Amino acid sequence: MSNYSNYTNKEMQAITIAKIIEDGQIVIVGTGLPLIGASLAKRVFAPNCKLIVESGLMDCSPIEVPRSVGDNRFMAHCAVQWPNIRFIGFETNEWLHDEKRMIAFIGGAEIDPYGNVNSTSMGDYNHPKTRFTGSGGANGISTFVNTVIMMQHEKRRFTDKIDYITSPGWIDGPEGRTKKGLPSNRGPIAVVTDRGVMKFDEKTKRMYLHGYYPTSSPEDVKENTGFDIDVSRAVPLEAPDPEVIRMIREEIDPGQAFIKVPKEA
């Protein structure tokens, strides 16, 4: 008999994503954990949310977990197949009309205290130690849409200064986006990691620990963050319902494409 109480941190991460999504929201999502979280939200927490991807597919309801945003499994159960340029216009139009119904998920290799994300290169840009895949659509998304950032929580990733800003966060504080000519009514709202959830202070726009998983602690988060982070407001997050874990493993990602099921002892 399967054990659905032995959840993993990745499953906790996906469930946390699902709970952030509000009913009726339009959700820009890619593959991996954000898609699993968004699919779970559509099934359990926010049944009227609409999933869209940057390849131009709108209102997606994939039965199997797609491997990319151009996967036929995305196309088979979507309402509209738009050209990519119309997707970009759609997210910009939401900002122009100051709509609050859109949320997006992005990731990266590095993040700083103000939610600026690097997914381009490490070290000197012209002679990098490591070159990554780059922005994709993340720069436009982080410019015009409120974002949730997905990261693995390691000190080398959470650093006081990143080598390159691929996706702008709050830049350097409350006036940072305005000074750079970016929409000040958009920006990162949360960072979801394998240890907990970070949010951004309303006044300073600096990251703080909002909640931690049963497998983590405020001390654990501080130890694995490369800059000083406020943990005084942190609250423990509930362990997931076994039925939700069953849904992830049996319905959403049964092939374990993105989340590996722990082996029984």
Q: Which residues are catalytic?
A: 54
Cβ contacts of 160 within 8 Å, gap of 6 or more? 112, 113, 226, 227
**Nearest-angstrom CA–CA distance, 61 and 63:** 6
**CA 89 to chain CA centroid, nearest Å:** 21
Alpha carbon distances (Å) from 25 to 30, 103, 104: 16, 7, 10
DSSP alpha helix (H) spans, the chain: 9-20, 33-40, 72-75, 84-96, 138-144, 176-179, 218-223, 242-247
Q: Is 230 exposed, middle or buried (0-12, 13-18, 19+ CB in 10 A)?
A: middle
CA dihedral 54→32→187→81, nearest 10 degrees, is 20
98-101 long-range contacts, CB within 8 A, separation 24+: 98/185, 101/24, 101/25, 101/26
Determine phi and psi for 4, rounding to 5 degrees.
-100, 10
